[in-house]
Amino acid sequence: MDERETAGMTAEMHPGAALDAEALLARLPQVRGRLTPMRPLADLCWLRVGGPAEALFQPEDADDLSAFLAALPADVPLTPLGVGSNLIVRDGGLPGVAVRLGRAFMGAEPLEGARLRVGAAMLDSRAAMAAAEAGIAGLEFLRTIPGAIGGAVRMNAGCYGSYTADVLEEITALDRQGRAHRLPASEIGFAYRSSDLPEDWVIVEAILRGAPGERAAIEARMDDYIARREASQPTKDRSCGSTFRNPAGYSSTGEDGDPMDLKAWSLIDRAGMRGATRGGAQISPKHSNFLINAGGATAADLEGLGEEVREKVREAFGIELEWEIKRIGLPS
């Protein structure tokens, strides 16, 4: 049954938002999953901020998603959301259709050759645990990465010297026309914290490749990663992990020839922004590259504080920090 929960939920309920869900829904195809107009997104994002999606589509399965994409008008914006672990949705909301995958895309299946087939909506941590149960080593780093496998692929997530590109064999993704593409990792164009995948493609599945290992040893490595993370990062606060990418393309020494630490957290620290606040947003006192919702923050608070950090680092060091957190949608 197509759930179109209008109930008077139109753009008029969100002052300043240039969204018209009623007009949009009249143009969208029928679905078997759930299609909700003006769906608030704050509760779906880890920072708990942001306006509504003009329409949120939660497909029943891959066939439902493919049929929807094939019939979606070409001029309607399409945004795959993931689980919102690396995302700021601006306060004015998100035009067009946002797609969020659910239970049908959360499975894990061990394959021959120390490989694991995982749905794109499966949390990275759960994929790591499924690999451990199957005796697949090499995926332990995923245990501490916030988010789901689809997002990990899209941004080449990594930590402790390992990246998604190192363990990915292939993905299946649906394009804007609903056509399925199976791509090996070599055709995805991985780089530091990025890939060349089109923004409106929806990743639905990935095959990860590890090596045979003993479950106890794998779990011990995951426990070590968790302990290291909790010791150095504000894991109990609302954040999206690292806010800015570590800079590339700059000299590793200062003007006096002394070594210069170009890690984003160090630059932010030396620019005097550790613990800085704006509204309910704060740069974590524990780790300077973590932007947190300390309570009652708006998306504008968070993005504004991030831009202030970038300005201070630019003024102090002539270095342009690049956002690692994705920001989408309309201002309030």
Shared domain for 60 and 129, answered yes or no, is no
Q: What are phi and psi of 224, to 5 degrees?
A: -65, -45
Residue 324 annotated to the active site:
yes
Return the CATH number at 88: 3.30.43.10
Residue 143 annotated to the active site:
no
Q: What average pLDDT does the structure give for the chain?
A: 92
150 part of a folded domain: yes
* Residue numbers of the domain that contains 261: 234-328
Shared domain for 29 and 111, answered yes or no, is no
In the 3-class helix/strand/coil scheme, how is 201-220 assigned residue by residue? Answer: CEEEEEEEECEECCHHHHHH
Which of 218, 244, 259 is a domain's end point?
218
225 part of a folded domain: no
Which of 194, 218, 242 is a domain's end point?
218
Shared domain for 114 and 212, answered yes or no, is yes
The answer to whether residue 6 scores a pLDDT higher than 60 is no
288 part of a folded domain: yes
226 part of a folded domain: no
224 part of a folded domain: no
Shared domain for 198 and 256, answered yes or no, is no
64 part of a folded domain: yes
Return the CATH number at 190: 3.30.465.10
239 part of a folded domain: yes
- pLDDT band at 250; cut points 50, 70, 90: low
Please identify which of the residues 117, 126, 193, 270 carries the catalytic annotation: 193
Write the single-letter amino acid at 320. Answer: E
271 part of a folded domain: yes
- Provide the number of structural domains found in the chain: 3
Global pTM value: 0.89
Mind listing the pLDDT tens digit for each residue in 171-200?
Answer: 999 999 999 999 999 999 999 999 999 999
Mind listing the pLDDT tens digit for each residue in 137-184?
Answer: 999 999 999 999 999 999 999 999 999 999 999 999 999 999 999 999
133 burial type by CB count under 10 A (0-12 exposed, 13-18 middle, 19+ buried): middle
Please identify which of the residues 85, 195, 239, 242 carries the catalytic annotation: 242
